[in-house]
């Protein structure tokens, strides 16, 4: 069984009068294995965010099927869907989305707090995850007292602390400088390796994408190509750049070249 299976997923946006406006996804098929780290790339407007939002159940698809860990979340009633999102999904956003009124440690614990997990179990989990993320010494700090890279690592902690079926990340390095981006990508990779977290990440950044096991390219709402990483991340980075240059798109789609 796959952790994520999307079959023939289409999404048509309609305008306020109900008339068809944009075919954002046109029959997308994607299968992701447990423990896989998959990147999604493509030019601006190609449908990446729409795909992620549909998988995240933030948005409804027009047709097709989505299975996450064997369930079809789009078929669930409102209450079960809310529970499904809390327990089966983890989210990482470009702007971290941490709560400023809580400490870094409290932010990390949120998914467990919401499920009423006993305090000693929460503390144990927090210690374990904070150590993997390298943020043990900032758990008592407020969100505005830490760097962007540290905030994003805390957000990754929050996304995985409840062991969701899949972590969905939308441009996790979009607001970070190159050094912090590198730390955040190394952290995601570590979480993927050490906790067997299944991750799907949308990114414009070929450097970030080079940390994935596989990168799926979409253009104009359709799958264009996918490539797998071998042993060498630098070679994979170059392959990603090559596919992106074939795909075209505006230059802002490609971030500054980094080693
Ligand atoms: N709420 C919406 N209503 C109508 N059209 C939309 C809506 N959201 C997205 N679209 C359109 O759907 C298409 C895909 O958009 P989407 O945001 O998924 O692309 P993207 O690949 O994530 O782009 P970017 O890289 O610029 O974020 C675009 O043509 C966009 O204009």
Strand order, beta sheet including 20-32: 20-32, 4-14, 63-68
**Ligand 1 atom at shortest distance from the alpha carbon of 25:** 14
Separation of CA 75 and ligand 1 centre (Å): 24
pLDDT in tens, 198-208: 999 999 999 99
* Smallest CA separation from ligand 1 atom 26, residue: 44
| Residue 230 to residue 60: CA distance in whole angstroms | 35
Ligand 1 in reach of 42 Cβ (< 6 A): yes
In a domain, 48, yes or no: yes
In a domain, 257, yes or no: no
Ligand 1 in reach of 21 Cβ (< 6 A): yes
In a domain, 98, yes or no: yes
CATH number for the domain spanning 72: value is 3.40.50.300
Distance of CA 211 to the CA centre of its chain: 13
pLDDT in tens, 207-237: 999 999 999 999 999 999 999 999 999 999 9
pLDDT in tens, 51-100: 999 999 999 999 999 999 999 999 999 999 999 999 999 999 999 999 99
Ligand 1 in reach of 44 Cβ (< 6 A): yes
Q: How many domains does the chain have?
A: 1
In a domain, 239, yes or no: yes
Helix (H) or strand (E) holding 229: none
Q: What is the CA radius of gyration of the chain?
A: 18
In a domain, 258, yes or no: no
In a domain, 159, yes or no: yes
Confidence at residue 174, expressed as pLDDT on a 0 to 100 scale: 94
Angle at the Cα of 238 from the Cα atoms of 52 and 222, rounded to 5 degrees: 35
Separation of CA 222 and ligand 1 centre (Å): 13
**Ligand 1 atom at shortest distance from the alpha carbon of 47:** 18
> Taken in order 124, 36, 201, 187, is the CA torsion positive or negative?
positive
- Is the ipTM here above 0.95? yes
Confidence at residue 251, expressed as pLDDT on a 0 to 100 scale: 43
The answer to whether the beta carbons of residues 227 and 65 sit under 8 Å apart is no
Ligand 1 in reach of 219 Cβ (< 6 A): no
Is the model's pTM score more than 0.95? no
pLDDT in tens, 166-195: 999 999 999 999 999 999 999 999 999 999
Ligand 1 in reach of 228 Cβ (< 6 A): no
Q: Which domain range does residue 161 map to?
A: 4-251
Separation of CA 221 and ligand 1 centre (Å): 10
The answer to whether the beta carbons of residues 228 and 33 sit under 8 Å apart is no
Counting residues of the chain whose pLDDT is more than 70, the rounded percentage is 96
* Smallest CA separation from ligand 1 atom 7, residue: 13
In a domain, 243, yes or no: yes
pLDDT in tens, 92-122: 999 999 999 999 999 999 999 988 899 999 9
């Amino acid at each position: 069984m796959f952790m994520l299976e999307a079959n023939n997923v289409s999404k048509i946006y309609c305008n306020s009068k109900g008339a068809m406006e944009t075919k954002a996804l046109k029959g997308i098929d994607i299968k992701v294995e447990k423990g896989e780290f998959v990147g999604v790339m493509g030019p601006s407007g190609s449908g990446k965010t729409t795909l992620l939002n549909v998988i995240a159940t933030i948005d409804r698809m027009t047709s097709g099927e989505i299975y996450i860990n064997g369930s079809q979340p789009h078929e669930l009633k409102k209450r079960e869907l809310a529970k499904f999102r809390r327990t089966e999904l983890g989210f990482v956003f470009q702007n971290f989305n941490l709560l400023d009124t809580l400490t870094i440690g409290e932010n990390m614990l949120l998914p467990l707090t919401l499920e009423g997990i006993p305090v000693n179990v929460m503390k144990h989990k927090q210690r374990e995850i904070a150590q993997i993320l390298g943020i043990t010494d900032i758990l008592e700090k407020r969100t505005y007292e830490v760097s962007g890279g540290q905030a994003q690592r805390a957000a990754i902690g929050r996304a995985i602390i409840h062991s969701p079926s899949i972590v969905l990340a939308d441009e996790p390095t979009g607001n970070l400088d190159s050094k912090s981006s590198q730390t955040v990508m190394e952290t995601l990779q570590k979480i993927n390796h050490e906790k067997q977290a299944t991750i799907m990440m949308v990114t414009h950044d070929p450097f970030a994408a080079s940390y994935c096991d596989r990168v799926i390219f979409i253009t104009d709402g359709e799958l264009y190509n996918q490539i797998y990483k071998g042993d060498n991340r630098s070679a994979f980075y170059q392959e990603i750049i090559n596919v992106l240059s074939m795909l075209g798109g505006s230059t802002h789609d490609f971030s500054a070249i980094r080693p």
